[in-house]
Amino acid sequence: MPRPRPGPRARRTSTPAPPGPRRLRAALVAALAGAAAWLAAACSACSTPSSSVDGGDLLGVFERDAGAAAADGGQPTAARQDAGARATGPANAAATPQKPPAARPPSEGSCVAEQGRPGRELRKTLGRPPCRGAQVLETRDAEGSPRYACVIAPSGVETRAPLPLIVFFHADGDNPTSVDKETGLRKLGATWNLTGDPAHAGFIVLAPQGRAFKTPSQAERVRGTKMYTPIAPFDVEFTGEENVDVATVDAFVDQLLEKKLVDRRRIYALGASYGGHMAATYAMMRADRVAAFATFGSDAPPAEWACPGPPPPAMAIYRACDDMFSCESVERWLRARDAASAETAFLRLDEAGRDEPHCALRNRCSAKKGAINHARWPKSREADLLRFFAGHVLAIGADTPTAETTAPRPATQTGAAGR
């Protein structure tokens, strides 16, 4: 019987020697080059999440005009800075400014061109607000109407050196009590340091009350008055020296200055919604009194800066989704301030108060969501706002009256302050 024929033997192969260092480097370079070529080919066909979205759905940052985008490369300019990106350190109420504040020389004379007509017809005269745990200042304005303001100050303020002052302008659908209802300024005012001196912490909050006008403002007429009736707005459309609300705030600030409670170098204006318009208007009309101002949920005020230099420093805090003052409208104002070389910090926030990289898409910003965002004060970002204020002072003496305080103003009758 024949033996089976053996199959083919497996061919023996020798194990190659490991490549030398040069061969390893060459192989690595070739692999990296191939990977780079693959990525380039893949990305040439890829698309961004917004590329499939209709351009009409884009709200804000994508609607910038080509000139503005080319001017700043799509980034904040040197004058405009993202306060959220640059804010560092814990939100400590007793924190001190990390660098010396910028001293701004006060402007001389009026820096706002007169426009508009004064609001005089009132629907009713507003009574004394319930300023719980706060002092109430009283005066009569140039129209003869009683005016009130809440003053929230740290305990023992009468025996201390003059403190910084924040003038808070409430929204037109609110009243001075919104300082306590919506913000944490009362608590922060007891300990937060705006001066840089560890022994000189705290600040005073002055919250004046607006007026109940009979006729809607131009802005309200544009929006439509059937959906919304203002309760106590301020007159921001008339920018002449006879503006009753500006003169009334002057009278309240003067009362505090006469008692030597306020540091003249550190007076700031702050407002929400249409109150933000008043904060900006007061800061510009009183640029020799206000060191800086800040707004939440507000765009450009009607007041126009008319002096050669830039307007006072400002901080704009706004939502990426806002139904009343859209993100795109606020950013048009920021670009206008850029053009005027005005120092401007900004915080663009989502509904939770976190930094948002761009304005919301229109189909992601419903009217209900935008209205809620507009009404929700950014309490978690008050530390950023106070750090901004701490970085700005007027270049005057703490007890030196400014030109504005010594100039004649529309008459007001100041009454006694009460509790």
Q: What is the pLDDT at residue 98?
A: 59
pLDDT in tens, 206-239: 999 999 887 665 555 555 544 445 678 899 999 9
Domain tally for the chain? 1
- Quick count: other Cβ atoms within 10 Å of Cβ 8? 5
pLDDT at 41: 47
> Residue 25: which H helix or E strand, with range?
helix 21-43
Sign, Cα dihedral of 123, 125, 129, 134: positive
Q: What is the CATH number of the domain that holds 212?
A: 3.40.50.1820
Predicted pLDDT of residue 196: 87
| pLDDT on residue 184 | 95
Tell me, yes or no, whether 46 lies in a domain.
no
Residue 34 lies in a domain: no
Instruction: Supply the angle between the helices 274-285 and 244-258 in degrees, to the nearest 10.
Output: 70
Q: Which secondary-structure segment (H or E) carries 121?
A: none
Position 264, amino acid = R
For residues 276 and 308, is the Cβ–Cβ distance under 8 A?
no
Does residue 28 belong to any structural domain of this protein? no
pLDDT digits (tens, 9 = 90+) for 82-136: 776 544 444 444 455 557 888 888 887 778 989 998 877 777 788 899 998 899 9
Does the pLDDT at position 30 exceed 60? no
pLDDT at site 124: 77
**What pLDDT does 31 receive?**
55
374-388: pLDDT as tens digits: 999 999 999 999 999
Whats the size of the chain, residue-wise? 419
Phi/psi at 302 (5° precision): -65, -25
Range of the domain at 331: 57-414
CA dihedral sign of residues 335, 336, 337, 341: positive
> Which residues, in sequence order, are CB contacts of 243 under 8 Å at separation 6+?
118, 235, 281, 285
Of the candidates 289, 290, 293, 267, the residue with the CA atom closest to the CA atom of residue 280:
293
The answer to whether residue 332 is domain-embedded is yes
Residue 363 forms part of a structural domain: yes
Where is mean pLDDT largest: 25-29, 59-63, 331-335, 404-408?
Answer: 331-335
Mean pLDDT score, 187-200: 91
Calculate the average pLDDT of the chain: 78
Q: Using DSSP, state whether 70 is helix, strand or coil.
A: helix
Do residues 76 and 379 touch, judged by C-beta distance below 8 A?
Answer: no
Residue 11 domain-assigned (yes or no):
no
Mean pLDDT for 46-68 is 37
- Partner residues linked to 103 by β-bridges: 393
pLDDT band for 72, please (50, 70, 90 cuts): very low
Is the residue at 13 inside a domain? no
Q: Flag whether 9 is in a domain.
A: no
